[in-house]
Every structure is written in structure tokens, then in C-alpha cells.
Structure 1
Amino acid sequence: MQTSVIGFPRIGTLRELKFASEKYFKKEIKAEEILQTGKDLRKIHWNTQKEAGIDFISCNDFSYYDMMLDTAVLFGIVPKRYRELNLSDLDTYYAMARGYQGASGDVKALAMKKWFNTNYHYIVPEIEDETQIRLSGNKPFEEYNEAKALGIETKPVVIGAYTLLKLCRYTGEKTINDYTDAVITAYQDLLKKCEENKIAWIQFDEPALVQDMSVEDIALFHKIYDAVLSVKKESHILLQTYFGDVRDIYADLIKMPFDGIGLDFIEGKETDFLVETYGFPTDKWLFAGLMNGKNIWKNHYEKTLQVLGKLQEKGIKSVLSTSCSLLHVPYTTKHETKLSAKYLSYFAFAEEKLGELAELKELAESANYQLETTYQKNKKLFAEGRDCFSEQVHKRLSLVTKKDYTREPKRSERQKLQKKELGLPEFPTTTIGSFPQTKDVKANRSAYRQGKISEEEYKAFNKKKIAECVRWQEEIGLDVLVHGEYERNDMVEYFGEALGGFLFTEKAWVQSYGTRCVKPPIIWGDVYREKPITVEWSVYAQSLTKKIMKGMLTGPVTILNWSFPREDISIKESISQIALAIRDEVLDLEKNGIKIIQIDEAALREKLPLRKSDWQKEYLDFAIPAFRLTHSGVKAGTQIHTHMCYSEFTDIIPAIDDMDADVITFEASRSDFQILDALKEHHFETEVGPGVYDIHSPRVPSVAEIVAALRVMLTKIDKEKLWVNPDCGLKTRDIPETEESLKNLVAAARVIRSEG
């Protein structure tokens, strides 16, 4: 039995890459230093896997920002506006990821979207009509030879040609079919160079195969790989899939001359059925994704070994693999000093999963694994009951009725009443919620957590920051204010800490995008609200102003999707429990005089099944009602907002409208407001604020730029329904750029109002 890892976390065990990158952006270190940080981390990651006995170790899974962006650069897919900046290769790369505003020019960043059904965001490659696609870089070969010099044989990982073509954005008149031949040639050249470097295995990641595939899609895949594989000689090709099953093309894949095929047995609902029905060739290797790469619970050895045993009985040559890249889990449990040994005994982060792969390999090779100590210990863990059940939570959930999912009166009537009661101007301006989390804010929170300051001192500092934030918002003329969220760390972690049923880590960071890392809470047991969470801060902020202060909450779907979920109950049940807890908070905010309440569902699409046939029954049929449950009890005059970002929402617009919010804000600027056509087409009833500028970039939008964006919006959205806001929270930005951007936003709204 051999073992394989699809990919490994790249930020470092203590976020070394994040901190080096941020120093480089601030010009505190030179390019050589950040490049050295990357080299040091790669060495550590490769050696860690080698010491764990992993047989197939990946290279080129490391990225300074994003692997899809790396692939675009590898094949020369760099839009003209970035090339014309005449920056270094590294700075051109970062300009594509973050935008650029300086002596060389002013460009926005490329669009950013969610990576399939994960919380990771990828950079969307942009192909112009004049783009010349060809093998232009050496990164896979440089990293392969770097590892080889350390005595470590690796398999370079490259996003596959089919997935690349499907995820690119085509900005001109040409389409995917116009670039297929060029992409084929580029991948053939890549494979030839692998042969020249005597690379034994190369891994092509093709997660797009787990989505619905049309006859045309299957033909496109064949056209690509029939040609690419025709130049294969000594190098072996692993076609790696993940995040689901490949039911539409499995029968074809097993007939094609791949040397190995990686299948997901965790999220692939039909993977077992496909192998059972169509078999698997004896001349290929099946890389069986049986180690969950997206969750932190330990592997159930008995179940895994049963699957491996069935494969061996069929004579299938199997390699035990992760189900996807370990990018989606934290690095190691070694830095967790506050969680008890009991809790930690249930968890396996990336490094611990390597140990599990090693143990499973040994057990699979054992003559009688059921007698082995490691097997017995694992079996006992799963046989023991966890203290995670609440009779009160289950009783309350059982009493929820159909009426609890419906808000009265209907939205059109509420909107008329709200316009009268709230008295907002046309094109009301607001922000999404958070303001910059400066060093003093983080230091205050850290000091309080470490017991260095009292609760009174902690709160006094935050109230001072809130007062400053409210005063500044009034000064520039925002219409609906926020309190800045200085008491909060991550939007999900903050609520999880205040709810029963969650566990929290100290250093379990996971990369969300670029330098942005989060520490997802762990849902250990049944979830409930113990006491009010945000009311004190919102009431204090409202007391400082006569303008309307938004209450800021995170919705149940996002809390679930941005946490590590339980595996012993359904996602539906977990979301419903959280929805009742948030409902309590909504009603308390309303009772305390908060007239606008924003319930963010940034991650609504995240667990949407990748196949449309599963959308309703397996997700939307309970996720949308769960959101309605949070706000159905408020009065007609209370305005409910929600927010969503960095996903493709155009195909679920009717479901979003069915959430029955009064106002929704979207991320829209990075994708050139493509969502607007869908809103118009579906006669979207909810008032809407498509973000007018991208907060994930440090560049400052001009008044003219925002005015132009609003004019485009008004061609698709009725003026009485349009709000003006950034596309996301501002916590990751610096104060100067935030202030200048928001002043321009308010000025732009005034220009639009003056135009009638």
C-alpha cells in the first residue's frame, strides 16, 4: 500500500508566509526575502511529508498567493493592463491578485471567486482576444528540482487544462473553443518538459469533472487529453479529481491512457457505485481519496480499511490518498495548548493526517489489522459517546412550525412602510459592517484574552473606538452607520465563542485567500445561545447618533459553512439549531431599538452541491428557510439586510430573493457587475447594493469611477431599490485608504442624487 497527498498547506505552521507577504507589500522587506521564506517553507513541508512516509509528495502546490493565478502565469495568461505596468514578474503577479495604484499606473485586481464548494477563494484568470497561451514559466520544474536537491522525489501538481479553460473568464469576442488548441499545445509542451526533467509522475488537478458535464463538455475533455496524452512517454500522468464524483465521464476516464486516476470517496456520493458498476482497469493506479481533506475529525479506520479491502479484492492497484488538498485544514494540533487532551484526541489537522495515512498504510499491509493496537485505539474512539447532546435544543427545534419560516406582511408592503419610517434618502449609503482592525485594536483584544487588562478596560477601549468610528461616519455623511466591530475577531469565530456547542483553537489557521487566514470554530455539539451577544455594543453605538445604526450578525448558514461541522448529524440539523440561536439575537436587537439588522450570509453558496440536480433537496430546501427562521419574528418596520460575497450567485437569484430579506448587498465590482443582468432578468424584489468598489485591493476608487459604476447599476436596478456600499467589510484595510474610499463613495452618491 502506498500513500499520496494531493496538496499541503502553504502558509506555514504559524502563518510565516502571510507575515512575510504583508511585509513585502509594505516595502519592509525585499523580493529576495519573501522568495527565501517560500523556499524555507517548501523545504519544511516536503521533509514533514517525507518523514511521515508519504510515497507521493506534491510540489508546485505551494503558492505565494493562489494556485490558479500561478497556472495562468505559467501559461502566459496575463492581461495587457498588467503587462503594461512594466513591473517585475513578482510585482506583476501581485498586481493581478491585489490591484496596483502607483507610479506605474492604476489597475484593479482580477476577479476572485470561491474554489468550488470551499471557503478558499481563487483568482479568476482573464483571457483577452489577443492573449497568446503558451508555456511561459518554469515554476513546476524549479520546485521539482528544488525538492530533488533535498533528496525528495515529488509529483508536480498543475491545474488541469479542462478546469483551467472552464474557470477562465473570456473578455473579448473569442470563446473557450478559440483557445482549446493553444491550451493543448501548452500542456503538451509542459508534459514534454516533464519528460526532459525525468519527472516520474505529474498530477493534473481536474475538479471541474465533478460538476454536471454536457455532451459538449465531455467532447472538450476528450479533445484536450487525447492530444495531451499522445505525447506521453516515460512520465506517468495522475488525473486527480476531488469535491465529488465523476459520474458523467467515469466510464470514459478508465479507458483513457492515464496512469492513475484520483477519486474522492468522501464527497463523491457515487464513487463506490461507479467503481462497482464499471470496474477499474488493472493496468492503472486508483488513488483512493479516503482521508477527508476538508474536515478536522479523525479518520474512521474501520470504514477506510473496509473500502481498501474491497478494492484489493477486486484486484485494483490502490494508493491511499487524501480526498482533496490539505490546504483546507489547519497545519497541526501541536500548538493547541488550551483544548483538553480529550478534545484533541478526536482531531487530525494536516500534519496529523499524515500520521493517520502512515498508520492506515501499516494496517492495510497487516495480516490481521483488527488485532493491531492502532486499530483498536481508533475503534474505541469512535465507539465512545461524546458529550454533545442537548435535550432542550432538540425539544425547541421540534416545536418549530411552518409559520415560523414566514414573515408577515409580504415584502412589498414592508418596503413601503420602511421607507416612510426610516426616512432614508435616495441611494442610501452604508458600509458592510467592519472597519479596519488596527494594531491597537488587536493589541487590546489580545491583552484582554491574556488577562493583562480587565473587562472594564477592554470595553472602555472599544467604546472609545466605536465613538470615533460613529463620529467619523457622521462627518463624511454616510446614511446608515455601523459600529465598526472592534470587539470582534473573525465574523464566525466571534459568534461561535458566544454560543454553546462550539470549540475554539489558538493557532489552527486556514488560508481563505492570499494573506487572509481564518480560524474556523469547531462545532462539537448541539448549538444554543446562552445570553445576548451583540446587543450591548449596538445599543451603545445607537446612543451616540440620531442616524440609524445597523445591528450586525452572522447568519446560520455562514456560521455552519465557515466552521468545521460535526459528522455525526446532518448539516440541515446543525444549521437549524444555529438559526434558532440567531433568531433570539435578532429579536433582542429589535426589542432594544435597533431598526436595521444585517444578518450576513457571505457563505450561502459554499455548500451548494456542485451538481444542479442536488441543489434543492440537499441544500436550498433547508438553507433558505433557516435564514427566514432567523428574522420571521420581527415587526414590519424593522429592516432586515443580508450580505453575500465572492461566489457565483447568478444561477440562484430566485433562491436568494426567497430569503425574504428587505435589502441585500453583493460583491460585484471584481466581476464587472455581471450579477446585474441576472437581477433584472429575475425581477429581483429585494432592495440591493452591489458593491461599488473592491475592498480586497488597497487601491482607492475615484469619485468618477464610483459614479460610472452606479450609472451602470441604474440601467438594471430601479432607483428606489439601489443602495451604495463597498463590496465587503473593511477590517483588512488600512485607515487612510478606507477613509478616502468612503469619502469618494458618499460624494458619488450625491452626484447620482443630483442627476435626478
Structure 2
Amino acid sequence: MLTHSLGFPRIGAKRELKWALEQYWRGEIDESALNETAFQVRRRNWEIQRDRGIELLPVGDFSLYDHILDTAFMLDAIPERFREGNGQSGIDTYFCMARGDAEKDIPAMEMTKWFDTNYHYIVPELAPDQAFTPNPDPLLEQLQEVNDLGMSGKPVLPGPLTFLLLSRSTEKDANTLDLLPALTEAYAQILSSLANKCEWIQIDEPILVQNLPKATVELLSPAYENLAKAAGPAKLLLTTYFEGAAHHAETILSLPVAGIHLDLVRAPQQLDVFLQEYPKDKTLSLGVVDGRNVWKTDLNTAVEPLKAAIKELGEHRVMAAPSCSMLHVPVDLEAECKLDGNIRNWLAFAAQKCTELRVLAFAARDLNCVEPLKNNANAIAQRRNSPLITNPEVRKRAITKEMTSRNSVFEQRSATQQERLGLPALPTTTIGSFPQTEEVRKTRAAFRHERIDAAAYEDTMREYIKDCVRKQEAIGLDVLVHGEPERTDMVEYFGRRLDGFCFTDFGWVQSYGSRCVKPPIIYGDISRPAPMTVEWTTYAASLTDKPLKGMLTGPVTILCWSFVRDDMERMDVCRQIALAIRDEVADLEAAGIGVIQIDEPAFREGLPLQKGKRKKYLADAVESFRIASCCVRDETQIHTHMCYADFNDVIEHIAAMDADVISIEASRSAMELLEAFADFRYPNDIGPGVWDIHSARVPSAEEMAQNLRKATRDIPAARIWANPDCGLKTRAWPETLASLENLVKAAKIVRNELLT
């Protein structure tokens, strides 16, 4: 019975790859130094997995930026604006695709969420006549690396159907699936080059857990016939994850692949469906350890489906694996010395999950592992019975219908708010954060490590806030923010001030490129012991006569961007968070703050992948936002913010949130995201992002004005705001100031046009 991994965290246990990437982008190291760091991270990843019992190691799951971008680059699916004629080397073309080029004024490719995770992938841009010219050399080189280390490697590739359905066409009405024959031929060439160099090849088709049309799924059969022939003696493992694929079982079981992987953490019930008529020539890989959360697996429960599969198929046709790639969890728990000992005993990071798989593989075959199973059972029981996880006061707090409704409809509130705020047409604002200087970061670290006292810390933060307010006033923004210098992360900041959360020192997870987050761990009932933002916000507001926004993170986003307890319903946890945020909103309003933004960038991200589960999630998510926001008077303006997403299937629920203003990331899609709001006739105000803050380039005032003009074709001008795509924390001050000046100019240009 083989143990294998679908993928491993690629950033490094101490973010070694992050630092090397950023040094390379700053010109401080060359390509060879970057590649050496990348190799060392890959090597360490393979060693960790091997030493903890993984027999078949993933190859190609590693990436310098993103695995979907890697695939597009390997296929030579490079949009013309990035071609070598721009004078760039191969690796710089690759990074330009992801990040754009400020000097050459080349915008980056679109970026969006990987299914329902907080990982972002680069969206391939494919022309209707797209040609694919594969170059498998990087994958072959990594396979040779693992072989040279004396380990057994399994190349990993995104499946052709998933790749095409996650891509976008450069022409609006073109269908990317029309490219499947050409893409299949390119994949066949890649598989042919791997055929005699490995035993297994992993083809990821997570798109199959979604409700696809039958005609779309049927396209797999001829495609995989060609791929199986090209692979020769190598065995194809078709991998699904993030949900169940039982609704496509008939087609999946008929495909000419040697093995199928199922996610039994998200969808344990699908095993019965697949086992009913499982083909005799196929191996079955079972994802029995959660690749997306940090809790110890209940091994005595998780072993049962492995035993059931062995009983039906025999142990040599069953593989044990994580549910999905472990990209979504931190590397190793052993570094977390400061965690509460009880809570630490309940956790398992990627390295520990590998050990769990080894134990499960032994236990499934009734081999001797009594002690590990006993220790695991004790940890599971201790957590279940711990007083740390339950707060009776939180459990007693009731939610009433009155708590989820504003006092008046939007039109009435809007008039009252305009009377209070006195804003011009196309009011300008930012999403919240401003660049975090080296001084700010060092001051936060010094305070955290008790090298300076609270007074010194607060003095530095106040000076930064004062400077932010002055800069915004000088630029001419209409609604200001305090800049958030006190916050490392929009979820971590609040989690540290709420009961029921704990934090790691090295629990980093990749969000995109070199950007990493350290998700809080929700282990118990959630409450707010004291105000969290009121002091900083009221101080900033005292420095200006202009409106200033209070900045909060919404309950759905805190939920989605944390490692959530798995011993109660997720949306019950969300409601606890909503009540805590509600208390903060009430305190901000009482302190005189007239504009309060409750960010929900993860609202769409949390949407279940299968349609039958969406209605309940959306109702709960809307309710949670309204619990948090509906405690204010009409004159207080509630904003929210959402990141790149396909809003078409959730637009009515976004409207039901009833925020007075929503800002969205729209520039990378050339304002196409606004079509969903226009088609729905979205009733409230909207701020489409008119410049892409994920790139260092400074868009001109005319470029932003053109985006605003596009917006006014879809949305009435009276309901449009002008703002960047997202927060500015990761940007530098010079580009930020230049871009904001152009934003204000753009708003004035279009205002004047509207008056003539």
C-alpha cells in the first residue's frame, strides 16, 4: 500500500523562497542564486516527506510563483506583450507575466482565487487560435533532481480540462474548450518525454468536483485516450479534490487512467459510489488526511475507509494520501515552541500529516502501530473535553431578526449620508492600508519582542498616521483612511484581539508569489474582550476635517482566512465572529466615525464548489455580514470590499448584504467584472478599482479616467466611487503617491465630462 503526497508547501519552512524572490526582483541576487535557493527548498521538501514515510514524492508541485503560470509558460502560452522582443530573459518574462513591468508599462496577467482557497493563481490568456509549443525541460530537470537524491518522484501537472476552464479567452465570445485538441497534443508531447522516467504521473482535475455540463465532461474521454497512449509505461493518476466527484463517477471510471484520487475529507460519502463498480485495472488513491487544515487527523476514524477499500480491492490497489496538495498548510509544527501545549497537541502541519499517513498505511493493513493510535486517540479526546474551547457567555448570546436589518432602505440612507458627508460626484478613496515602511515594521517587531515600550511604539504609529493623513489631504482624496501601520495582516490583527484564536511563529502559507500569510487558528468560542480599532481611528479622524473610514475585516473573511475549528459548524463560528465585529462597529459609531468599511474579500471565495450547497452558505454569509453591520444609524455609511472573483452567481446575495458602498477589484479584467453588477442592476454605490495595485507600474490619469468612463457605461455615474483595486500595504510610497495623484486627476476629468 503506497503512501504519496499530492503537493507540499513551496515557500520554505522559514520563507526562504520568499526572501530569495524579493532579492532577485530588487536586483540583489542573480538568477543562479535564486535557482540554488529554489533547489534547496525542493530538496528539503522531498527529504521531509521521505523521512516521515511518503514513498512517492510530488515533482513539479514546486513553483517560483504559481503552478498554473508554470504550465502556461511551459506550453509557450505567453501573451504577445510579454514576448522576448521586450528584451527580457526567460525568467524575467515569466515574472513579468505575473507582476507586470512598471518601466515598460506592461500590465500583469489577471490573478484570481484557486477554487475555494485563499491561494491565488495567474489566469492564462488564450487566443482562439492559440498554439501550444511545450517545453518539458524544467519538469524533467526536477524529476532528475529527485532521482539523483535516490527518491521516487511523481510528476504533477494540472489537467487539460481544468487548465482550459480556469483560463480566459482573449476574445469575449470564444470558448477555451475549443482548444482542447491542440492542448491535448501538447500534453501528449510532455507525457511522452516523461514516459520512461517515472512510474506514476499525477494529472490534477479538481474542476471535476464542480457541476459541469455532461457534454463538457465527455470531452475527457478522447483527450485521455491520447494522453494514456503518450504516457506509455507510466501510469496516469487522475486527481480530484476540494469536494466529491461522484456526480461524474461514470465518466471518471471509464477513463483510460491507472488510478483515481478522491478527497474523502471533504466528501467521505463518495467512496461508496466509486467502490460499487470500481474497475479491476485501476488503483484507488484515498485522501484521508486534511491537506487544508491544521488539526490532527482522528486516525482511528480515518483508517476505516482505507480498510474498506483494501477489503474490496486488495492492499496493492490502494494508496494513502492527503486530501489535496498540502500547499495550504504550514510546513512543520516542531518549530512552534510558544504555542499553548494543549493546543499544540491538537495540531498537525504538513510534516506531521506525512507521519499520519504512514501510521494510517500501517493501521489499514493491521500492522503494529498501537502506540501511535493510542496517543492520537488521547489527543483527540483531550481536545473534545477541554474547557479551552467553550465559552458559556458566547453560547448564550442570541441573534434576533432585528439585528440583521438597517433602519431604512438604501435611497433614504444615501440621502442622509450625503447630507452628513458632502461628497462630490465620483468620490475618491482608498481601500484602507498604505505602504508599510521599514521603520514601521521594525517598530512593530521591537514592540512585539519587548525591546521598546508601549509609549515608544505608539509615538511611531501616531507619526505614521499623521503623515498618512497629511499626504491624503495634499493629494485631494475625499474619504481618508488612517493607513493601518499597526496591522501586519487584516485577519491576524483582529484575531490577536479576539478570544478563541491562537497564533504561530512560523505558520506561513503562500497566498501568491512571494506573498505569505500566517493564518490564525480558531480553537474555541470567539468574543471581543475590548475595542480593537477605536483608538487609532479616532486619533486619525481628529487630524482632519474630511471623512475618515474605520477599517474592519468582515466575519466571512476572518473565517475563510483562518484555520477554523472542525468540531462545530463553520457558519456557527462565523456568527460568533460577526457578533464580535458588531460590537466594534457600534463602538466606532459611538466615537463619531461616520464611514465604516467591513472588508469581505473572501465572500465569493467561501462559496461551495457544488451548486446544491450554495444556498445555505450564501444565506449564512449574508446574515453574518448584516449581523456585523446593521447596528448603525442611517447617517453612518457602511462600505465593504471584495477581491477578484466571478460575481455573476452571487450578485443578488452581494446586494442582499446591503452595504452602502462596495469596492471591487476590476482593473485587471478591464472593468469586465462590472457587467455582473450592471446586468443585475445593482442598487447601491460601487467603487470599481481603476488601477491594479498588484503591479508596480503607475497608470496614467487618462488610463484611470478611461476605466471610470467604462464604469459609467454600466453603472449610473451618481453611484460610482473612484478607488484602487485593493489595499496599498505592499506598494512603495513613490508609486503610491503618483498613482493616487493620477486617481484624483482621473476623477476630476470624468466629473467635468459629466457636467458638459
TM-score by length of 2: 0.97
Cα deviation, residue 269, structure 1: 5.3
- Find the counterpart in structure 2 of residue 656 from structure 1: 654
- Find the counterpart in structure 1 of residue 742 from structure 2: 744
Residue identity opposite 2:531 in structure 1: P
SS at match of 1:442: helix
Cα deviation, residue 506, structure 1: 0.8
Alpha carbons 1:646, 1:667 under 8 Å: kept? yes
- Find the counterpart in structure 2 of residue 428 from structure 1: 427
- Find the counterpart in structure 1 of residue 587 from structure 2: 588
Are 2:755 and 1:754 aligned? no
- Where do 1:103-182 residues align within 5 Å? 105-172=104-171, 174-182=174-182
State the Cα deviation string for residues 184-220 of structure 1 (Å, max 9, x = none).
111111111112x422111101110001111221122
- Where do 1:194-343 residues align within 5 Å? 194-195=194-195, 197-268=196-267, 270-276=269-275, 278-316=276-314, 317-343=317-343
Partner Cα separation in structure 2 for residue 367 and residue 225 of structure 1: 37
Partner Cα separation in structure 1 for residue 231 and residue 520 of structure 2: 45
Alpha carbons 2:436, 2:730 under 8 Å: kept? yes
Partner Cα separation in structure 1 for residue 87 and residue 301 of structure 2: 55
Alpha carbons 1:509, 1:519 under 8 Å: kept? yes
- Find the counterpart in structure 2 of residue 486 from structure 1: 485
Cα deviation, residue 367, structure 1: 4.6
- Where do 1:534-553 residues align within 5 Å? 534-553=533-552
1:681 to 674, 679, 682: 679
Partner Cα separation in structure 2 for residue 336 and residue 452 of structure 1: 21
State the Cα deviation string for residues 82-126 of structure 1 (Å, max 9, x = none).
104231010000000000122xx3211100010001000000000
Partner Cα separation in structure 1 for residue 609 and residue 285 of structure 2: 21
- Where do 1:598-609 residues align within 5 Å? 598-609=597-608
Instruction: Assess, with a 3 A threshold, how the Cα gap between structure 1 residues 177 and 365 changes in structure 2: closer, same or farther.
Output: closer
Alpha carbons 2:224, 2:257 under 8 Å: kept? no
Residue identity opposite 1:56 in structure 2: L
Residue identity opposite 1:312 in structure 2: I
- Find the counterpart in structure 2 of residue 394 from structure 1: 395
State the Cα deviation string for residues 107-151 of structure 1 (Å, max 9, x = none).
111000100010000000001245311313422111101111111
Partner Cα separation in structure 1 for residue 51 and residue 389 of structure 2: 36
* Unpaired stretches in structure 2, ≥5 consecutive residues: none
Alpha carbons 1:134, 1:185 under 8 Å: kept? no
Decide which moves more: 335-344 or 151-160. Answer: 335-344
Partner Cα separation in structure 2 for residue 46 and residue 107 of structure 1: 37
Residue identity opposite 1:188 in structure 2: A
Cα deviation, residue 290, structure 1: 0.5
Partner Cα separation in structure 2 for residue 231 and residue 550 of structure 1: 58
Decide which moves more: 722-731 or 37-46. Answer: 37-46
Partner Cα separation in structure 2 for residue 437 and residue 187 of structure 1: 43
Partner Cα separation in structure 2 for residue 550 and residue 136 of structure 1: 50
Alpha carbons 2:500, 2:523 under 8 Å: kept? yes
Partner Cα separation in structure 1 for residue 62 and residue 318 of structure 2: 26
Partner Cα separation in structure 1 for residue 130 and residue 86 of structure 2: 17
Cα deviation, residue 732, structure 1: 0.7
Alpha carbons 1:4, 1:321 under 8 Å: kept? yes
Cα deviation, residue 177, structure 1: 4.0
Partner Cα separation in structure 1 for residue 215 and residue 193 of structure 2: 30
- Find the counterpart in structure 2 of residue 578 from structure 1: 577
2:371 to 366, 373, 376: 373
- Where do 1:567-646 residues align within 5 Å? 567-617=566-616, 619-646=617-644
Output the aligned Cα RMSD: 1.3
Partner Cα separation in structure 2 for residue 539 and residue 144 of structure 1: 57
Partner Cα separation in structure 2 for residue 320 and residue 715 of structure 1: 54
Are 2:67 and 1:96 aligned? no
- Find the counterpart in structure 2 of residue 193 from structure 1: 193
SS at match of 1:203: strand
Decide which moves more: 145-154 or 456-465. Answer: 145-154
Partner Cα separation in structure 2 for residue 328 and residue 636 of structure 1: 41
State the Cα deviation string for residues 305-331 of structure 1 (Å, max 9, x = none).
111111112225211101000100001
SS at match of 2:500: strand
Partner Cα separation in structure 1 for residue 187 and residue 575 of structure 2: 47
Are 2:716 and 1:718 aligned? yes
Decide which moves more: 60-69 or 402-411. Answer: 402-411
Partner Cα separation in structure 2 for residue 469 and residue 37 of structure 1: 37
Alpha carbons 1:134, 1:183 under 8 Å: kept? no
Decide which moves more: 230-239 or 108-117. Answer: 230-239
- Find the counterpart in structure 1 of residue 65 from structure 2: 65
SS at match of 2:18: helix
- Find the counterpart in structure 1 of residue 436 from structure 2: 437
Alpha carbons 2:125, 2:170 under 8 Å: kept? yes
- Find the counterpart in structure 2 of residue 728 from structure 1: 726
TM-score by length of 1: 0.97
Alpha carbons 1:114, 1:121 under 8 Å: kept? yes
- Find the counterpart in structure 2 of residue 53 from structure 1: 53
Cα deviation, residue 158, structure 1: 0.6
SS at match of 1:480: coil
Residue identity opposite 1:335 in structure 2: A
Q: How many residues align?
A: 747
Partner Cα separation in structure 1 for residue 299 and residue 579 of structure 2: 35
- Find the counterpart in structure 1 of residue 354 from structure 2: 354
Alpha carbons 1:113, 1:648 under 8 Å: kept? no
SS at match of 1:726: coil
- Find the counterpart in structure 1 of residue 26 from structure 2: 26
Cα deviation, residue 272, structure 1: 2.6
Residue identity opposite 1:97 in structure 2: A
Cα deviation, residue 282, structure 1: 3.0
* Unpaired stretches in structure 1, ≥5 consecutive residues: none
- Find the counterpart in structure 1 of residue 554 from structure 2: 555
Partner Cα separation in structure 1 for residue 346 and residue 147 of structure 2: 35
SS at match of 1:334: helix
Cα deviation, residue 279, structure 1: 3.2
Alpha carbons 1:213, 1:248 under 8 Å: kept? no
Partner Cα separation in structure 1 for residue 400 and residue 683 of structure 2: 26
Residue identity opposite 2:496 in structure 1: E
Alpha carbons 1:393, 1:528 under 8 Å: kept? yes
- Find the counterpart in structure 1 of residue 519 from structure 2: 520
Decide which moves more: 721-730 or 350-359. Answer: 350-359
SS at match of 1:512: strand
Cα deviation, residue 614, structure 1: 1.4
State the Cα deviation string for residues 610-655 of structure 1 (Å, max 9, x = none).
01221112x1111111100111110000000000102222221111
State the Cα deviation string for residues 632-681 of structure 1 (Å, max 9, x = none).
11000000000010222222111101001000000111122221111111
Identity in percent: 44
State the Cα deviation string for residues 52-100 of structure 1 (Å, max 9, x = none).
2211110111100000000001111100111042310100000000001
